[in-house]
Structure 1
């Protein structure tokens, strides 16, 4: 794939800093979510079933064991792809706390889990996925402390959309203001923020995606992740999909909107992801999300034809 030719990618940014490819190792640290445990609600967001995007979800392994297994899988995959084994002693990884809300616990427990992950000598960074309404000042200070020690630290905030009506419709449990407040506090502390956005949410159009991007960029962020909406087994949306009450985004429309968003993004913003896929039988729709490279190829084709990151911006 040649996305690095059109986008400021996370992989390229890590390689520039560390001089080599750096992989993320996803970790399930047994966190929950205020939208599931009754604090805000139960059942979660209408699109949510975490096991569709975290293959460690539900694991009984501890954090150290998950990291060990993750490193083994990465090295095995690399060896099969290259036909030989590279020197594993030089491998570098980011510990990615992905499952559920990874800042939603007591401070001492959060610190213990993060500390366990970074004690591995191959871990050079920490990425923490969470909700905008679950990031107290103490957590921001903790992440800033890790960064001061030389780790590559990212706070990954799941906004999904800036449209207040959509946030209510999908039972998100927070609004734009919580997101804006957390971004402001994180940036004051020098923590890099990566914002997650979903395209294809019910009732939204291309104009909504562009408006969300505009609002997010105006706040000032460091990274973006764009995902297509997945209809997954066990989610509230699965019921609506089975009743033919949901319109599923076509691959062509997704590639068009992602391309337009990338062209409207300043070149210093790092794109951590522009597509995602899920496996059956957990994935119900859209079908193209079951094939890892379909969206990537379509997006690259769009960027090749119409231009890459920042090219829709004026160059005064």
Structure 2
């Protein structure tokens, strides 16, 4: 039947509005991060590949060329696209620089949306106003916030450099201005359990959210976590445990919230562990099987309503 039968996915919503799934074309616009440029720190988050920091971004194509290559990779499955500023902190620069880069990304008529990925502590009011201006032009605009967890102790442990209060503040200002927020959560961070995942999920729902992205923690070469993993000090979720936890969060999620992603994968040799994260379909199939057996998005909320 497919995941769409059990989850309100971004693809489903795009089909309803645009008559087709919208391919997100990822962009590296040479942004940096306050957690690596010295503003907050230089080590970056413990799950990041810090070896690449000394080389910055290397030689990369212009925004226009990146979009063109992204269209080619889509293999004509889409005729409309979303420009997705994914790399690093894509609101962390001068206002005029941000505007110029965003403007470049939406020049072509087949770009109907703009997604901007960033940290919760790097979204000033002027950036929110800029995003509102694109939305007023008819674009599908999403602010993607990398929260990862609502647990301040964990945020400190993984060297994020911000707290949950920063996230709450940004969500309030962004959604108050009419900008949709998609929140990224990592399941399996050091020291966290299934109960912690549920706590974070509930805290995010209470703060207000329009979309969610779920990711399993995976270890990449060059990260601080890689050292802990090699030393045997970093337990990771099995495929079965991740599928269970992700599915439980989905069942506790109101049906109007859109899931942009329910799992993620990485490629070797960058990926060190867990091995199941090296294959795209592993997580998707396991989650779909669990939802099919135990109930899909909003199931627990509906169950509670019926019992009440």
**Residues of 2 paired with 1:61 and 1:51: CA distance?**
21
Indicate the residue corresponding to 2:48 in structure 1.
Answer: 48
**Residues of 2 paired with 1:58 and 1:16: CA distance?**
39
Task: Tell me how many residue pairs correspond in the alignment.
Answer: 300
Given candidates 225, 228, 231, the residue that maps to 1:240 is: 228
Deviation at 1:19, TM superposition (A): 1.2
CA contact (8 A) 1:156 1:195 kept: yes
Given candidates 180, 202, 207, the residue that maps to 2:190 is: 202
- Give yes or no for the alignment of 1:66 onto 2:66: yes
Deviation at 1:49, TM superposition (A): 2.6
**Residues of 2 paired with 1:9 and 1:279: CA distance?**
24
**Residues of 2 paired with 1:161 and 1:68: CA distance?**
35
Deviation at 1:15, TM superposition (A): 1.1
Indicate the residue corresponding to 1:111 in structure 2.
Answer: 99
Indicate the residue corresponding to 2:134 in structure 1.
Answer: 146
**1:221-251 CA-partner distances (Å, limit 9, x unpaired):** 1000000011001110011111111001100
CA contact (8 A) 1:93 1:124 kept: yes
**1:11-69 CA-partner distances (Å, limit 9, x unpaired):** 011111111121100000000000000000012000013999xxxx6552000000001
Segments ≥4 residues shifted beyond 4 Å: none
**Counterparts in 2 of 1:51 and 1:69: CA distance versus 1, 3 Å:** farther
Indicate the residue corresponding to 1:25 in structure 2.
Answer: 25
Indicate the residue corresponding to 1:12 in structure 2.
Answer: 12
CA contact (8 A) 2:228 2:234 kept: yes
Q: List aligned pairs for 1:1-316, cutoff 5 A.
A: 2-49=2-49, 58-75=58-75, 78=77, 91-313=79-301, 314-315=304-305
**Residues of 2 paired with 1:149 and 1:32: CA distance?**
28
**Residues of 2 paired with 1:160 and 1:51: CA distance?**
22
User: SS state of the match for residue 91, structure 2?
Assistant: coil
User: SS state of the match for residue 215, structure 1?
Assistant: helix
Deviates more, 1:15-24 or 1:224-233: 15-24
**1:250-302 CA-partner distances (Å, limit 9, x unpaired):** 00000000010000000000000000000000000000000110010000000
**1:56-105 CA-partner distances (Å, limit 9, x unpaired):** x65520000000010011126x4xxxxxxxxxxx7000000000000000
Deviation at 1:159, TM superposition (A): 0.3
**Residues of 1 paired with 2:192 and 2:48: CA distance?**
18
Tell me how large the CA RMSD over aligned residues is: 1.5
CA contact (8 A) 1:25 1:70 kept: yes
**Residues of 2 paired with 1:43 and 1:169: CA distance?**
13
TM-score (ref. length: structure 2): 0.95
